[in-house]
């Protein structure tokens, strides 16, 4: 799962000043006007802008943090179900009728 924190290369508990500094640094590195030879620069800059928009707004950041928690739980549940399904699936020829 990739988050807006990953996109800006900051920790989840980063203060707004760190987020702003990371945004400025990445914007300088990937801005399409500066990187005319990089065909991915515009796409990357859109991702950076979107992530900054979310993380610089306290309410949107709170919603994003809630989404991360929900996704983490969902991924763990899926992994557990997958693991349980793999361990409980009988193999061909296995004797499951024991008295």
Domain ranges of the chain: 4-81
Residues 95 and 74: their CA atoms lie apart, in Å, by 34
pLDDT above 70 covers a percentage of the chain that reads: 87
Sign of the CA dihedral 67, 69, 70, 75? positive
From 1-5, 6-10, 70-74, 95-99, the region with the lowest mean pLDDT: 95-99
pLDDT at 91: 59
CATH fold of the domain at 4-81: Helix Hairpins (1.10.287)
Q: Sign of dihedral through CA atoms 27, 28, 29, 35?
A: positive
Half-sphere exposure at residue 20, Cβ-oriented, CA atoms within 13 angstroms: 5
């Amino acid at each position: 799962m990739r988050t807006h924190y990953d996109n800006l290369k900051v920790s989840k508990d980063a203060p707004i000043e760190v987020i702003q500094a990371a945004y400025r640094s990445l914007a300088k590195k990937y801005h399409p006007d500066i990187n005319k030879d990089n065909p991915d620069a515009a796409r990357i800059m859109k991702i950076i802008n979107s992530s900054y928009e979310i993380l610089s707004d306290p309410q949107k950041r709170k919603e994003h943090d809630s989404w991360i928690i929900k996704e983490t739980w969902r991924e763990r549940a899926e992994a557990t179900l997958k693991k349980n399904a793999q361990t409980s699936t009988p193999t061909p020829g296995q004797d499951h009728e024991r008295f």
